[in-house]
Structure 1
Amino acid sequence: MRRPAGSRWLSAMTELRTERLVLRAWRDSDLAPWAAINADPEVREHLGPLLSRAESDASVARFRRDIARRGYGWWAVEVRSTGGFIGFAGLDRVDDGLPFTGVEIGWRLARPAWGHGYATEAARAVLDHGFGTLGLAEVLAVTTAANLRSQAVMRRIGMTRDPADDFEDPAAPPGPLRAGVLFRVARG
Structure 2
Amino acid sequence: MITLETDRLTLRGWREGDLDPLAAINADPEVMRYIRDGSVRDRRQSAEGLQKMIANWEEIGFGLFAVEVRETGVLIGWAGFAVPDFLPEVLPAVEIGWRLDRRFWGHGYATEAATAAMRFGFLDRGMDRIISIRQLENVRSARVMEKLGLSRQFDTVVPENHRRVAVHAITRGQHQARFRG
Distance in 2 of aligned mates of 1:183 and 1:97: 13
Per the normalisation by structure 1, the TM-score is 0.88
2:21 equivalent to 1:33: yes
Pairing partner for 2:42 from 43, 52, 57: 52
Deviation (angstroms), 1:27: 1.3
The within-5 A match list for 1:94-105 is 94-101=84-91, 102-105=93-96
Per the normalisation by structure 2, the TM-score is 0.91
Question: 2:176: which partner in 1?
Answer: none
Distance in 2 of aligned mates of 1:76 and 1:154: 19
Deviation (angstroms), 1:159: 0.6
Deviation (angstroms), 1:97: 4.3
Contact 2:4 2:11 in 1 (8 A): yes
Secondary structure of 1:167's aligned partner: strand
Distance in 2 of aligned mates of 1:97 and 1:126: 22
Deviation (angstroms), 1:147: 0.4
Superposed CA RMSD in Å reads 1.0
Distance in 2 of aligned mates of 1:62 and 1:182: 24
Contact 2:13 2:65 in 1 (8 A): yes
Question: 2:157: which partner in 1?
Answer: 168
Contact 1:99 1:167 in 2 (8 A): no
Deviation (angstroms), 1:96: 4.5
Pairing partner for 2:164 from 171, 179, 185: 179
Indicate the percent of aligned positions where both proteins have the same amino acid: 42
Question: 1:85: which partner in 2?
Answer: 75
Question: 1:69: which partner in 2?
Answer: 59
Structure 1 stretches of at least 4 aligned residues deviating more than 6 Å after TM superposition: none
Distance in 2 of aligned mates of 1:180 and 1:95: 14
Contact 1:26 1:64 in 2 (8 A): yes
2:148 equivalent to 1:157: yes
Contact 1:14 1:71 in 2 (8 A): no
Pairing partner for 1:141 from 132, 151, 171: 132
Distance in 1 of aligned mates of 2:124 and 2:60: 12
63-72 or 143-152: which moved more?
Answer: 63-72
Deviation (angstroms), 1:94: 1.8
Question: 2:177: which partner in 1?
Answer: none
Pairing partner for 1:124 from 115, 122, 141: 115
Deviation (angstroms), 1:70: 2.2
Deviations 1:140-175 (A, max 9, x none): 00010000000100000101003xx21000122x4x
Distance in 2 of aligned mates of 1:57 and 1:40: 16
- Tell me which amino acid in the other structure corresponds to 1:129: F
Contact 2:86 2:160 in 1 (8 A): no
